[in-house]
Structure 1
Amino acid sequence: MKIIDRYILNEIKIPVIFGVSLFTFIFLIDIIVAMMENIIVKGISFIDVLRILSFYLPPILSQTIPMGMFLGIMLTFSKFTRTSEATAMSAVGMSLKDIVKPVFGAAVATTFFIFFLQESIIPRSVMKLQYLTAKIAYENPVFQLKEKIFIDEVDEYNLYIDRLVGSDKVANGVLIFQRGKDKNFPTLIVGREAYWKDSAMVLKDSKFYNFNDKGQEVLTGEFDEKKVPLAAYFSEMNIKVKDIEAMGIKKLVSEMKGKTPEEKILYKVEINKKLAVPLATLMLSLLGVFLSIGHHRSGKGANFALSLIVIFSYITCLNIGIVMATRGIIPVFIGIWTPNFILLILTIFMYKIKAKVI
């Protein structure tokens, strides 16, 4: 590798890391806010929150790396222009192709890395995320239970809690309906308070009432403690990352077999998106060079604003295409790949303009 190629790659390294970090943070804001609520309100440990965030990162990075590459390259080559390094490269006989060669190589490597993320890392990451969130809820049911909410998803139990008190979230005013397969009316259990132990609710100072098929009370009693298992409810926590988004392309193709044409649309959209977004890295990287290099002396702010306009325009067009393709308004290929074709045309156009002056 030539010294100048190594120099260019070293110069783009820090700005690209900055760009990827910036966009990743933007994507993570909603998740971070939700996690802060879990720390402050629901008692989830800070370490567990960090582990959850780490499993959210791979799906987000597959989208933010192309954006970060574009922003970082624009910042680097705008600096080359301001400091006249781009002029010096041209003066020593480097063509535009020579200048973009190391950038193109880095973009190709990054594209393959994103494909690796999608096919190998993301499916494993989502599986670990599901396991970890279920484990947290299993060990700390307060993570899911809320005041004044009627829960009917706990096996044969219906559950209502009036208040959660203190840092340990002790429940006051507990009402439970225990359903039976051969009974028209459930057993009613009323508890003064309850706490959690080993993924079960332990009721204290409670009463129970049994009813016959006509709804008449036939048996009543009291007990000091009663354990109500809740593990089944908490093992089915909802994960924000959709199952289809966690699948690799190979898995999506196999899962699509046997589906109806309407059901296949979602799979086709996801497959095309997993191909189009990584490949956009190539166009964005080259376009970042062509938009920022030259004999002008635009400031950092102008180049930063231009890069954001291009990135968010691409995201907007892609999302519009995804929605229209999902609803069957336009073919999937057109909906997903049109933003890439626009990038390609813009990249070729800018290359022809810059090749005349570099």
Structure 2
Amino acid sequence: MKTIDKYIIREYIPPLLLGFSLFTFIFLMSRFFELLNMSITRGVSVSYTFSIFIASLPYLVSLTIPMAHVFAGIMTFGKFANSGEIVAFKTLGVNFYKLLKSLLIITVFIMLLLVAFNNTILPNSNHRLKNLMLNVYRFKPTYQLEEGVFLKNFGKYSFFIEKINRKDDTMNNIYIYQESNGYISRIIIAKKGKIMHDTKQDTLWLLLKDGSIHDFEKGKNEYHIVNFKTQNFILPIKEEISSKGTTYRGDRELDIFKIIDRIKKTKMQMKRNISKRESKFMKLHYRRTLNRLYMEIYKKITIPLTSIFLLMLGAGIGARIKNSNIGLSLTISLGIYGVFYIMMIGGESLSSRGIVNPIVSAIVPLITFGVAAIIVIAKAMSEYSIIKTLFRKN
């Protein structure tokens, strides 16, 4: 390895580690306060909260490593530009692409490690995190509930609870609104209630006391009211909050080989059902399922792959702004990765709905940032070519 390559790598590694540490810290703090709130106000034990915190780390790492590359690119080449080293390199016949060569080799190596990480450690941590959260829902049922606000994430039901005692999962002054065809068809009111967990059927249900049920019929002037001393109400929680949730793995909890196996099984099931002339709705359902699975494979590769383009983009930006300020580099990096993340999430959403092919959703962000990186680097090179010419004339 040439001396100049060693020097460039030596200058690049510290800001890369700094960027990784800063971004990880930022995301960890956001997660930390969320978990702190879980422990203090929701009654989840500190040790259990810490387990959730640890299980959250791999996902954060998969995001912050690509972000660290754009930060390090801006910092390193901003410093080179500010100190005049890029011009000096150019006079020695070392152009911008040669400066990037050794860094690209390192980035490719880190990218391959991240692909392996995303395919092995990340799925298992996602599975563990899901199971930890499912246990919270089971044994701390009021975790999902807020007092004094309308809760609308329970299917066709909305809840309003004036007071919640999280120590014994009891509640006071409960209002349950049932929606049907766009209007409120039933209101259940109870003075007291308690969330119960049926361990045999693994379901959550409300034991309501001293209340009434109010039924309305749209278009009719009819109103029915039934008073009760006790009433059971099964909570419409997600199907995955069940005993099978501890073993069943979702799309993000599988490695590439298991996803491919699930794709094969889904295709076989799709062929059988199509031969039976399934409805168009079911065909669309299978297509969306396949798209989600394909997208998970592509994400495991494209997110690490974006590190290369983010490095190039960061290097070009750093060379142009001639500044290695940490705050500025951090802000620009967050903005750039924010755009990439929005594009990736947007593409994933369109793909899962069957609107866009998953490979298109995965590649478009890469192409966009690849083109942007080439343009920025080309402008930086042309700028320093002019400077070099002026330097020679003088």
* Pair in the same fold by TM > 0.5: yes
* Structure 2 CA distance for partners of 1:22 and 1:342, relative to 1, 3 Å: same
Residues 1:329 and 2:336 are matched in the alignment: no
Q: Distance in 1 between matches of 2:243 and 2:42?
A: 18
Find the counterpart in structure 2 of residue 152 from structure 1.
Answer: none
Q: Distance in 1 between matches of 2:344 and 2:170?
A: 47
Write the letter of the residue equivalent to 2:359: F
Determine which of 255, 262, 266 is the counterpart of 2:292: 266
Q: Distance in 1 between matches of 2:294 and 2:49?
A: 33
Cα displacement string for residues 84-140 of structure 1 (whole angstroms, at most 9, x for unaligned residues): 233333333322232112210121012112111111111222333345556778887
Q: Is the 8 A contact 2:312 2:373 kept in 1?
A: yes
Q: Secondary structure at the match of 1:103?
A: helix
Q: Distance in 2 between matches of 1:145 and 1:275?
A: 37
Find the counterpart in structure 2 of residue 110 from structure 1.
Answer: 110
For structure 1, the 5+ residue unaligned runs are 149-160, 174-193, 200-232
For structure 2, the 5+ residue unaligned runs are 149-160, 173-193, 200-239, 268-285, 386-394
Q: Is the 8 A contact 2:288 2:352 kept in 1?
A: no
Residue 289 (structure 1) shift: 1.3
* Structure 2 CA distance for partners of 1:351 and 1:322, relative to 1, 3 Å: same
Residue 353 (structure 1) shift: 3.5
Q: Is the 8 A contact 2:134 2:241 kept in 1?
A: yes
Find the counterpart in structure 2 of residue 343 from structure 1.
Answer: 369
Q: Distance in 2 between matches of 1:339 and 1:87?
A: 32
Find the counterpart in structure 1 of residue 152 from structure 2.
Answer: none
Find the counterpart in structure 2 of residue 320 from structure 1.
Answer: 346
* Structure 2 CA distance for partners of 1:90 and 1:328, relative to 1, 3 Å: same
* Structure 2 CA distance for partners of 1:142 and 1:344, relative to 1, 3 Å: closer
Q: Is the 8 A contact 1:119 1:248 kept in 2?
A: yes
Write the letter of the residue equivalent to 1:319: I
Q: Which moved more, 1:64-73 or 1:43-52?
A: 43-52
Q: Distance in 2 between matches of 1:93 and 1:72?
A: 24
Write the letter of the residue equivalent to 1:7: Y
- Give the alignment's TM-score, normalised by structure 1: 0.67
* Structure 2 CA distance for partners of 1:31 and 1:243, relative to 1, 3 Å: farther
Q: Is the 8 A contact 1:162 1:171 kept in 2?
A: no
Cα displacement string for residues 51-91 of structure 1 (whole angstroms, at most 9, x for unaligned residues): 32121111222122112211122122112211223333333
Q: Distance in 2 between matches of 1:309 and 1:170?
A: 42
RMSD of Structure 2 on Structure 1 (CA): 4.3
Residues 1:17 and 2:43 are matched in the alignment: no
* Structure 2 CA distance for partners of 1:7 and 1:327, relative to 1, 3 Å: same
Q: Distance in 2 between matches of 1:85 and 1:93?
A: 12
Find the counterpart in structure 2 of residue 94 from structure 1.
Answer: 94
Q: Is the 8 A contact 2:12 2:72 kept in 1?
A: yes
Q: Secondary structure at the match of 1:293?
A: helix
Cα displacement string for residues 269-327 of structure 1 (whole angstroms, at most 9, x for unaligned residues): 22222222111111111221122225x64573655544444322222222222222222
* Structure 2 CA distance for partners of 1:345 and 1:43, relative to 1, 3 Å: same
Find the counterpart in structure 2 of residue 293 from structure 1.
Answer: 319
Q: Distance in 2 between matches of 1:172 and 1:81?
A: 63
Write the letter of the residue equivalent to 1:124: N
